[in-house]
Amino acid sequence: MKHDVTVKNKLGLGTAPLGNMFRDVPEKEAMETIQTAWDEGIRYFDTAPFYGAGLAESRLGEILSSYKRDDYLLSSKVGRIVLDEKEEKEGLFEFGRQNKIKTDYTEAGTLKSIEDSLKRLKTDRLDMVYVHDVSPDFLGDEWITKFDEARNGAFKVLDRLRDEGVIKAWGLGVNTTTPIEIALELEHAHPDLSLSATQYTLLQHERALERMMPLAEEKGGGLVIGSAFNSGALLGGDFFDYKEITPEIKRKVEQFTHVARNHGVNLKDAALQFSTAHPAVKAVVTGSTRPDRIKEDLQAMTATIPAAFWQELIEMGLVSPKAILPGK
């Protein structure tokens, strides 16, 4: 039994940066960001044990636990369990907590992950649960084996929890399109809401339009879009899809910037509206540690963007003619 999920303003707060992704975020700054999101009307919050080895969940729980649970939507992820054992960290979350993380997509691991998340979040339930990073970008050649583990473990238990009304929806939370496509076509699992990060964005969407977006519509599997700016690349950042930006991507961003300037368009406005224009998309989650960015994101959703801007992007080959554009 599938449930429809409606997100206010089609905008949520993604909390990967609050797990100290790329830098050590002061506690005060993290708390202000979450509080500002609430004060500005954000009522959907997405997190994961992976974000700083539980740090993002704990920070989110500190703020949200003071509000009525029925007043907001909350999603977290399964597939990784935070252990008490410590280790030196490197990579995305080298500034997060030093706890070791174990990858586990089994039924027991899924239930343990949810139980631990509920404690860190200081809540009695999750609304949506995503199976996290069961994907080649994180697992390499092992990803098919781990996908099978999830299919026989996490997928089954999450199907049951949704059908029992314990959660509203479940799906995958990944940075590639293939796992979502495969999951949507399974006979014995029924994901109804997946989080697709980096793949349906203004800067990168051709692959998603081939199969993921049509399948999501056909199978009734909604999507939440993450990393709509591709780790900040579109807005002039140094990272693209969580890695150092390449000269090729920089040149593409310069083209977008040039067209936007000619039409008086803010690229953040265009990016958020593009990612939410497709009918399969329920929301976009944006991550930040800067409280002032929250208001910018909300304003972006209703900014006026001339049709000529989109037309020029299509003519330049920067946007696919198959894309569903804002206002259409």
Is 105 in the active site?
A: no
Interval 22-26 mean pLDDT: 91
Q: What is the pLDDT of residues 129-172, one digit of tens each?
A: 999 999 999 999 999 999 999 999 999 999 999 999 999 999 99
Query: Whole-model pTM?
Result: 0.94
From the candidates 51, 105, 130, 242, which is the catalytic residue? 51
Secondary structure element (H or E) that encloses residue 86, with its range: strand 80-86
pLDDT at 220 over 50: yes
Structure tokens at 185: 């076509």
Helices (H), 132-212: 136-139, 143-152, 154-163, 178-184, 206-207
Interval 249-264 mean pLDDT: 96
Cα–Cα distances (Å) from 30 to 13, 58, 277, 288, 318, in that order, read 12, 11, 30, 9, 35
Share of residues in the chain with pLDDT > 90 (%): 87
